[in-house]
């Protein structure tokens, strides 16, 4: 069962019944007149939860309960604060538990991550955690399952037609990316009063967050005729690339009044691009993004970024707790959904010190 199909229906249901209460952030920062857009007065729907119908992981390789484990973690990149925070969290939790942890870094290259995982399979660790760069990592993940290694996916999913959850891998622990996109759409409507010409900076092509954050946002704004999507382009979840793409799109669409970025790094790049064009972010052009990193919270506090929907990177505690539960024979579902916050002008400053 695929999280995207589940979360689309859950989030759609939440947005079908918008709460007609204008939030403080909407009252304080709406810069354009409100159109007939229900999102402009909708409350944040919060997090979704995995449905009870999600099956248990019954046919994946088993894990023997032991006092210590030899664990491997295939990270897809270390080129932004989110990835660094995720790796640090995994290392900290492994150290706390006294487990040996081997970490590989694919440097944002799918071919390298495939090679990394094959190398780790040859070493046959007790457990393999993988943060897949794209959904096309499914084939090598299936190889790990065939080798008898329990695989736990972190933060991104893979193609279920190739690698079956509960058989080829134990579970995927991730945020509901579709819901994140819908929450961002509501913040965009708050920021603009439901009337905006938007450019969208997409994440890495083929990555499940990029696919789903686009799906969630694009489907939500269809309910508001005043929210027009002018153009979308891949910014690779990277600050420098995001800035370059934003500059190109802003020059091609000088009437742009808003930017939706699939992550904070691209949003911060877009803010720089807006300033370089002599415009004022947060005034001439509103920006909304996803992740909740420290620099983004500073930008929200400075009113150059309207809001950021959190995608918590601190997977260590939940990842290892799930692994231990699986080893002890407890029921582990094939999908575990994280809980994420929303950062706006009301709470960003207070959370900067706790951000990554």
**Span 122-146, pLDDT tens digits:** 999 999 999 999 999 999 999 999 9
Q: pTM for the complete prediction?
A: 0.89
Which pLDDT belongs to residue 18? 40
pLDDT at res. 19 = 35
Looking at residue 36, what is its pLDDT? 81
Report the alpha-carbon distance of residue 67 to residue 52 in Å, rounded.
Answer: 31
Output the pLDDT for position 30: 44
- Residue 288 parent element (H or E): strand 286-291
SS3 state at 274: helix
pLDDT along the chain (356 residues), means of 10: 43 38 39 70 95 96 97 97 98 98 97 98 98 97 98 97 98 98 98 98 97 98 97 98 98 98 98 98 98 98 98 98 98 97 98 97
Kindly write down the DSSP assignment for every residue of 236-265, as one continuous string. TT-HHHHHHHHHHHHHH-TT--EEEESSHH
| pLDDT (0 to 100) of residue 4 | 45
Query: Exposed, middle or buried: residue 22 (CB in 10 Å: 0-12, 13-18, 19+)?
Result: middle
Which pLDDT score is estimated for 28?
A: 42
Contacts of 248 (CB under 8 A, 6+ apart): 233
């Amino acid at each position: 069962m695929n999280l995207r199909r589940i979360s689309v229906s859950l989030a759609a249901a939440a947005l079908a019944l918008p709460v007609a209460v204008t939030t403080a952030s909407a009252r304080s920062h709406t810069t354009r007149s409100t159109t007939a857009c229900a999102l402009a007065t909708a409350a944040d729907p919060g997090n979704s939860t995995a449905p009870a119908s999600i099956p248990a992981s019954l046919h994946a390789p088993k894990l023997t309960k032991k006092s210590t484990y030899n664990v491997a973690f295939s990270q897809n990149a270390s080129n932004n604060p989110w990835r660094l925070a995720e790796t640090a969290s995994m290392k900290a939790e492994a150290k706390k538990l006294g487990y040996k942890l081997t970490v590989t870094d694919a440097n944002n290259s799918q071919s390298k991550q495939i090679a990394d995982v094959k190398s780790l399979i040859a070493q046959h660790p007790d457990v393999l955690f993988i943060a897949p760069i794209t959904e096309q990592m499914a084939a090598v993940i299936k190889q790990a399952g065939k080798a008898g290694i329990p695989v736990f996916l972190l933060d991104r999913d893979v193609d279920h037609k190739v690698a079956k959850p509960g058989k080829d891998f134990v579970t995927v622990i991730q945020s509901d990316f579709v819901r994140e996109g819908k929450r961002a759409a509501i913040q965009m409507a708050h920021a603009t009063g439901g009337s905006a010409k938007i450019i969208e900076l997409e994440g890495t092509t083929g990555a499940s967050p990029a696919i789903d954050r686009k799906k969630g946002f694009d489907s939500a704004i269809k309910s508001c005729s005043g929210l027009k999507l002018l153009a979308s382009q891949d910014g690779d979840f990277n600050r420098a690339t995001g800035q370059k793409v934003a500059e190109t799109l802003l020059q091609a669409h000088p009437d742009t009044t808003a930017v939706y970025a699939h992550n904070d790094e691209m949003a911060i790049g877009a803010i720089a691009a807006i300033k370089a064009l002599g415009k004022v972010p947060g005034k001439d052009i509103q920006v909304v993004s996803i992740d909740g990193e420290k620099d983004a919270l500073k930008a929200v506090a400075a009113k150059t970024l309207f809001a950021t929907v959190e995608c918590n990177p601190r997977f260590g505690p939940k990842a290892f707790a799930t692994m231990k539960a699986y080893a002890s024979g407890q029921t582990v579902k094939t999908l575990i959904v994280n809980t994420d916050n929303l950062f706006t002008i009301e709470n960003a400053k207070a959370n900067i010190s706790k951000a990554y």
